[in-house]
Amino acid sequence: MPKQKTHSGAKKRFHLTATGKVKFARPNKGHFLTNKNQSRKRKLRKGSYIAGKNADNIKTLLCK
């Protein structure tokens, strides 16, 4: 069997923590930032985690 390749889009957007959780950056932080209030932009700075079956799917794409 050949090696599995990591999904190029997934490796740019997600990474695994040491405990095996899937972490990603919040969207909507790219442009039009003058229309968003300060508290919303502050919340977007922090990453978030994916849970459940979605996390399993991402791990499959990352070959982990």
Residue 47 lies in a domain: yes
Residue 2 lies in a domain: no
Q: Residue 50 belongs to what domain range?
A: 8-61
Number of domains in the chain: 1
The pLDDT, as a whole number, for residue 39 is 96
Residue 1 lies in a domain: no
Give residue-wise pLDDT tens across range 18-27. 999 999 999 9
Under DSSP, is residue 39 helix (H, G, I), strand (E, B) or coil?
helix
Residue 24 lies in a domain: yes
Give residue-wise pLDDT tens across range 31-60. 999 999 999 999 999 999 999 999 999 999
- Residue 41's contacts (CB-CB under 8 Å, 6 or more residues apart) are 29, 33
What span, in angstroms and rounded, lies between the C-alpha atoms of 7 and 13?
A: 10
* CATH code for position 40: 4.10.410.60
Q: What is the pTM of this model?
A: 0.80
The pLDDT, as a whole number, for residue 8 is 96
Q: Is the pLDDT of residue 64 over 90?
A: no
